[in-house]
Structure 1
Amino acid sequence: MKEVIRSVLSALGYRVEGIRYTPRQLLDPNRRRELRFDDVICRHMFEHGQECIFIQVGAYDGISTDPLYKYVGRCGWRGVLLEPQPRSAASLRQLYQDNDKIAVLEAALDRQRGRRILYTVATDDLPDWAGGMASFYREHLLKHEYLLPGVGERVREVPVDCVTFDDVLERLPGDKLDLLQIDAEGADGEIIALFPFDRVMPSIVHWEIKNLSRTEQESVLELLGGHGYLVARSGCEDMLAVLPPSAN
């Protein structure tokens, strides 16, 4: 009877696991520790050395909610930071003005070089995190009305330069890429789809998923899985993809 029930539920898409021998503490989500970005990064540095080569798309000011900041200077990381918003890019340049291992590009990542309109939010009297809201799509910013009432009246149009991944990769010291970090306000999936995985395989890909639909998330995971990556959630808002040891 158990096998019949298991087969029926399996056909409906359910996975049945026994919990008879599972400690009760592991059934409490408040007691479980999730895989984090820092777990994967520290393991990678232990195995390959602490200097990581990285690309960061959507670096904002380099500090606010930035998972890379604590490593860049302390561990001697080398990389390229992309940030299209002029004020934020200026903050990045000031932050890393004495670090010759870091290149700041005031540009957005796109399929081809050129100029596009970026929609941003006037944030003089808004929370700091609101400054990171920027998108090629105005409607994406309007989705945040429930958090920022009247946000539509604050939307501004900013012409920005666009570069390709080829332009960015030329700024790296070689073919090695340890980390591709993306935080692009809902464009994360589109940007990952533009990366030339056929030529360069980042050891780790870390991106935001909270603004992606289920279909968009599945499309990204299918693409990365096709290149041999193993995936895991990183907290509630992000996702990690890591090449298995045999592929590094």
Structure 2
Amino acid sequence: MNNKIFKKFCGILGYRIIDKNLFKNKRLISTYSVQNIKNFLSKLFIENKINNIVQIGANDGVIFDDLNEFINKYEIQSLLVEPIKDNFDKLKEKYINSNFVTLENSAIFNSTKDLFLYKVEKKYLHYYDIHIPGITSLDKNHLLNHGVKLKHIVKESVNTITIIGLLNKYNIKNLDLLYIDAEGYDGNIVLDFLSHSILKPIIIFEYIHVQNEVLNKVILKINNDYKIFSLNENLVCIPKIKNISISY
């Protein structure tokens, strides 16, 4: 199919094809920039602003994980959520001696029905860079937009739980940081959280893959209670009621 026709067709369906070099360049710049998410998180932990965490999309505790070193260093009470079995098993091994970490093998969704997540089949991972294992998504097009070949994609059935169901399951009454990397579904999770919880944590989520309509709803809903700013590919949301400086 002609590339222009394909892009137009995806646009009609509500998807946008973005040059995969954009993502690679953004990640390269964020790695060396003094203004990056890791430096900002470091400031929060040094100032003792974070004592408990819910991390959605924890992966294997290494790839795409900006929180791991802080969780271990400060022994932060943490609930880490990862739906993919292979990643979850690696996560269990990584935190096997960390009694301050709880793990949940589910996908966060707005209902509790079983879902399929799309990922690159393990035997094809060597064709791609190290970021590809971290782009598992509910949307197959998310992988295609990152340059993954259709024949290399498989789907895995996963259990689901709502964000409020998760908080209730683990009796979470206090929350300092909600950190989300759900490869495009992030905005939906934030909306569900804001609609059903009275908690006011710092919220950090990857916005770059979120559909514009959903992101607009998030910003309109969060604007009264939060100060927001973008940092690399993340939207950082700071509760106005908390004395937290956004400079570092």
TM tier, smaller: 0.7 to 0.9
Equivalent position of 1:191 in the other structure: 189
Match status 1:65 vs 2:64: yes
Alignment of 1:35-184 (within 5 A): 36=37, 38-39=39-40, 42-43=43-44, 46=47, 49=48, 52-122=51-121, 123-125=124-126, 126-145=128-147, 148=148, 151-170=149-168, 172=170, 174-184=172-182
Q: Distance in 1 between matches of 2:134 and 2:144?
A: 14
CA apart distance, 1:104: 1.1
Q: Distance in 1 between matches of 2:64 and 2:152?
A: 23
Computing the radius of gyration from Cα coordinates, the structure with the larger value is 1
Instruction: Tell which deviates more after alignment, 200-209 or 180-189.
Output: 200-209
Instruction: Tell which deviates more after alignment, 204-213 or 122-131.
Output: 122-131
Q: TM-score, normalised by structure 1?
A: 0.75
Sort the Cα spacing of 1:77 and 1:171 in 2 relative to 1 into closer, same or farther, 3 A: farther
CA apart distance, 1:53: 0.8
Higher helix share: 2
CA apart distance, 1:61: 0.8
Equivalent position of 1:231 in the other structure: 228
The answer as to whether partners of 1:53 and 1:176 remain within 8 angstroms in 2 is yes
Q: Secondary structure at the match of 2:223?
A: helix
Q: Percent identity of the aligned residues?
A: 21
CA apart distance, 1:159: 0.7
The answer as to whether partners of 1:177 and 1:200 remain within 8 angstroms in 2 is no
Sort the Cα spacing of 1:57 and 1:130 in 2 relative to 1 into closer, same or farther, 3 A: same
Q: Distance in 1 between matches of 2:141 and 2:242?
A: 43
The answer as to whether partners of 1:120 and 1:155 remain within 8 angstroms in 2 is yes
Any idea what the Cα deviations from partners look like across 1:169-193, whole Å, max 9, x if unmatched? 1354641100000011111111111
CA apart distance, 1:202: 3.5
Sort the Cα spacing of 1:79 and 1:87 in 2 relative to 1 into closer, same or farther, 3 A: same
Sort the Cα spacing of 1:45 and 1:172 in 2 relative to 1 into closer, same or farther, 3 A: farther
Q: Paired residue for 2:219, among 205, 218, 221? A: 221
Q: TM-score, normalised by structure 2?
A: 0.75
Which amino acid in 2 is paired with 1:234?
L
Q: Distance in 2 between matches of 1:61 and 1:239?
A: 22
Which amino acid in 1 is paired with 2:199?
M
Q: CA RMSD in A?
A: 2.4
Unaligned runs of 5+ in 1: 1-31
The answer as to whether partners of 1:115 and 1:159 remain within 8 angstroms in 2 is yes
Q: Distance in 1 between matches of 2:243 and 2:173?
A: 15
Sort the Cα spacing of 1:102 and 1:44 in 2 relative to 1 into closer, same or farther, 3 A: closer
Unaligned runs of 5+ in 2: 1-32
Q: Secondary structure at the match of 1:84?
A: coil
The answer as to whether partners of 2:175 and 2:201 remain within 8 angstroms in 1 is yes
Equivalent position of 1:9 in the other structure: none
Q: Secondary structure at the match of 2:73?
A: coil
The answer as to whether partners of 1:50 and 1:76 remain within 8 angstroms in 2 is no
CA apart distance, 1:115: 1.0
The answer as to whether partners of 2:44 and 2:50 remain within 8 angstroms in 1 is no
Sort the Cα spacing of 1:243 and 1:193 in 2 relative to 1 into closer, same or farther, 3 A: same
Q: Secondary structure at the match of 1:185?
A: coil
Q: Distance in 1 between matches of 2:45 and 2:74?
A: 13
Sort the Cα spacing of 1:51 and 1:36 in 2 relative to 1 into closer, same or farther, 3 A: closer
The answer as to whether partners of 2:50 and 2:176 remain within 8 angstroms in 1 is no
Instruction: Tell which deviates more after alignment, 77-86 or 200-209.
Output: 200-209
